[in-house]
Structure 1
Amino acid sequence: MIRKRGSLILCGTFLFITWNAILVLLLWGRPPSGQTEEHGQGKREVAERPTNDMVGDVLRMADTFEAELEMQRKILLQIKNQQSLWDPSNKNAPKVVVPPQLVIPILVIACNRVTVRRCLDKLLELRPSAELFPIIVSQDCGHAETAEVIRSYGNQVIHLKQPVLSDIAVRPEHKKFQGYYKISRHYRWALNQVFKTLSHSSAVVVEDDLEVAPDFFEYFQALLPLLKSDPTLWCVSAWNDNGRDGYVDPGSANLLYRTDFFPGLGWMLLREMWEELEPKWPASFWDDWMRQPEQRRGRACIRPEISRTLTFGRKGVSLGQFYDKYLRYIKLNTEFVPFTKLDLSYLKEEKYREHFEKEVYRAPVVTYEDVKQGQLKGTGPYRLQYSSKDSFKILAKNLGVMDDLKSGVPRTGYRGVVSFISKGRRIYLAPPPGWTKYDPSWS
């Protein structure tokens, strides 16, 4: 330190003699010792003026230089220590483990719609990361024009082609359902490519006639950890079957539900779930098969208050079933909700069920006439009770919500309860208290 201090003094003396005139002029212009200068809304201390004591000035400069050098040395050491943690060549240094963000591929099921461009354009426009959300388009049908549209995206998407396009042998009475058989075959092949060939651990499945909301990717990214950690869940869906404008709360874009009904239309599953389903995958009508109790096994899906997908494809193998009456009026969310920053633990099964049942069965019971004629007072919620399959279907149909059931489960239902908005008030279409299970004969 003495040798270092001496070197600095000699260096400072030389510099001081050389620059003496300039330094004196510059330093002389500063305010006297002990004064302060106004700086913005605060004050700062001002350095002392130089004196006629040359040696003393040099020593003070040397002290200042030494302190500055010591500070810089400490900063450089901190930087070096941090860099060593990430340096791949430093094998002996402790490593910083940064948890990787999970990759969620988007599997687009395509066939013969050149309007797949609308679906892909929106996915690519809104996708926050090509690495985290690779887009895989699996095409059936061998339709040349559709294939050309998909090829036009180059390396922005992965284009897979179903190799088997032949008709499937079916019973004569099922010949008109050939399209459903081919769709089921295609889903099986495409999901095998994603999970077995490409070895992904999760996937979001969308059809080529779906448009997605601004927070579509945010929604699935936030809910993947919940899906992985909660064994009572088996899927996450972007769709609300009763999500027509006027039947949802426009101020509750962040509201999510558990549902016993498999919604589809933009849904996420895990590889473990596919490994369970694939060996018994059905020859046709795969979506209704998913809604059977043997597959659902008491598990639920997550679905939003306001849909994160919108279907624009009226024509298909279903020949526009439900489209004109329901699907074309589904409200697509337009507000970006930062789901990854929200606490979603309320969706855990035990906590959710307890809160949901309290809210439903503490709500006052009202009649159909009260709801339909707008005679309800207050903000709600209110409970409208059904007691049989027929009473459910009559109430649902008259109130404008989906009235069909699959294996006894109503669309959007959770423990038999269907939640929707009617004339601005929350209505729970619910079975009597003490509900225990669905009746599969209600179909």
Structure 2
Amino acid sequence: MFRKRSSLILCGTFLFVTWNAVLVLLLWGRTSPGQPGAGQLDPASMPTDDVVGDVIRVADSFELELEKQKEILSQILSHRSLWKPAKRKRVKVNVPSPPVIPILVIACNRVTVRRCLDKLLELRPSAELYPIIVSQDCGHTATADVIASYGDKVTHLKQPDLSDIPVRPEHKKFQGYYKISRHYRWALNQVFRTLSHSSVVIVEDDLEVAPDFFEYFRALHPVLQSDPSLWCVSAWNDNGRDGMVDPGQPALLYRTDFFPGLGWMLLREAWEELEPKWPASFWDDWMRQPEQRRGRACIRPEISRTLTFGRQGVSLGQFYDKYLKFIKLNSKFVPFTKLDLAYLQEDAYRTSFTKQVYSAAVVTYEDVKQGRLSGSGPFRLQYSSKDSFKVMAKSLGIMDDLKSGVPRTGYRGVVSFFYRGRRIYLAPPPGWSQYDPTWS
């Protein structure tokens, strides 16, 4: 732009000087009528025998033309500011700030919460982006002292209502489950309403996290936000025992219709939907009911990003000795934020996953169990009823319980796992349409 303006100014000045030179030559040349070009002169400026009159007329014409040229030059000079390059204005580009994703640690009476907090603080990439909030129930002094020892590295909340909850006589032994549900409701209200966060990752005080725990949730946060067919992201694989997962695919992620828990992310919009009807007890099984799930799925990994070390709890080690203590914790950092996760979008994932499952070779339970599979797989093992599913699942070492008809880790009825180094899909017949809530 500057070069263009400079060229115009120079051209204007050159024309101004040239015009005046030509004018003087024309006026003072006194060209005779017979000379070439004489017929093109203004008759008023044609020379006559009156020399004095000619001089006066020439002077008047020259003065008039000079006034015009002075006016042109004045206009040129009035645009002197254009001769200098214009100062470029700095355009501020508003780069959106990365979202803050708080980590809510649900604590009670385990002093071993230190193991959970130490690992979170060791791996946390940013205190500003991942504030750690510890919500403590039970009023256990020793546990409170452990949490307080971290000072301002964590926010320590204390659930104020420690009273027993009135329950039916037959539920008296489940008092702990009622208190946990009450605590979850209070703690999540603190995060979303009092502290005004828009999302949260919930862990319990007996969980240890993987090296890429924060990276995992950071990458999946926008996926959860943008896809209404999802309602949570979990770090847990219920069938993620060592030997039951593919160690060569730590980046592999799935959609699942089963709510996994044990390190999971929730958005404020989902909590606003759930909080008014939050249950008095057994909140996790309540989350697995079709009325809450509403056809939505969660994201879960091939290899878990959390590991539970708390055998003792309200469940009295129900699954710990048989399943939980064998869960494999991922040890390889996966840069999830640099990966293309578009394959997790509902339509693309459903089409791809269904094709992969139902194009796999069909095998029998005996073939799988006795190691008579040829080739690298994957293979499809088909079940047709609740009983056939439970028999095969239990025998192959995967969790056989169903909640509202949904098997653990299941997606459209399919449970994916590794067995003796091969991928197995325990799947319903082709044409699956919906879960049967009576399969529980």
TM-score range, shorter-chain basis?
A: 0.7 to 0.9
Residue 124 of structure 2: aligned partner: 127
Larger Rg: 2
- Equivalent in 324, 327, 333 of residue 327 of structure 1: 324
- Equivalent in 382, 385, 391 of residue 388 of structure 2: 391
Residue 355 of structure 2: aligned partner: 358
- Equivalent in 136, 139, 146 of residue 139 of structure 1: 136
User: Pairwise mapping of residues 2-401 of structure 1 onto structure 2 (< 5 A)?
Assistant: 85=90, 94-401=91-398
Structure 2 gap segments, 5+ residues each: 1-84
Cα deviation for residue 107 of structure 1 reads: 0.2
Q: 1:188-221 deviations in whole A, cap 9, x for unaligned?
A: 0000000000000000000000000000000000
User: In 2, distance between residues paired with 1:96 and 1:280?
Assistant: 43
User: In 2, distance between residues paired with 1:321 and 1:355?
Assistant: 36
Which SS does the other structure have where 2:281 is aligned? coil
- Identity over aligned pairs, percent: 83
Runs of 4+ in structure 1 over 6 Å off: none
Q: 1:383-410 deviations in whole A, cap 9, x for unaligned?
A: 0000000000000000000000000000
User: In 2, distance between residues paired with 1:421 and 1:172?
Assistant: 44
Cα deviation for residue 429 of structure 1 reads: 0.1
Q: 1:137-181 deviations in whole A, cap 9, x for unaligned?
A: 000000000000000000000000000000000011100000000
User: In 2, distance between residues paired with 1:363 and 1:277?
Assistant: 39
- What is the aligned-residue RMSD (CA, Å)? 1.2
Q: 1:24-68 deviations in whole A, cap 9, x for unaligned?
A: xxxxxxxxxxxxxxxxxxxxxxxxxxxxxxxxxxxxxxxxxxxxx
- Equivalent in 422, 432, 436 of residue 435 of structure 1: 432
Which SS does the other structure have where 2:300 is aligned? strand
Cα deviation for residue 99 of structure 1 reads: 1.3
Cα deviation for residue 366 of structure 1 reads: 0.1
Amino acid at match of 2:257: D
Which SS does the other structure have where 1:415 is aligned? coil
User: In 2, distance between residues paired with 1:366 and 1:284?
Assistant: 41
Cα deviation for residue 98 of structure 1 reads: 1.2
User: In 1, distance between residues paired with 2:203 and 2:170?
Assistant: 30
The aligned length equals 356
User: In 1, distance between residues paired with 2:126 and 2:431?
Assistant: 47
Structure 1 gap segments, 5+ residues each: 1-76, 86-93
User: In 1, distance between residues paired with 2:224 and 2:217?
Assistant: 10
Which SS does the other structure have where 1:331 is aligned? coil
Residue 406 of structure 1: aligned partner: 403
User: In 1, distance between residues paired with 2:225 and 2:95?
Assistant: 19
TM-score normalised per structure 1: 0.79
User: In 2, distance between residues paired with 1:440 and 1:322?
Assistant: 23
User: In 2, distance between residues paired with 1:311 and 1:317?
Assistant: 14
User: In 2, distance between residues paired with 1:146 and 1:422?
Assistant: 41
User: In 1, distance between residues paired with 2:230 and 2:222?
Assistant: 11
Amino acid at match of 2:267: L
User: In 2, distance between residues paired with 1:102 and 1:341?
Assistant: 17
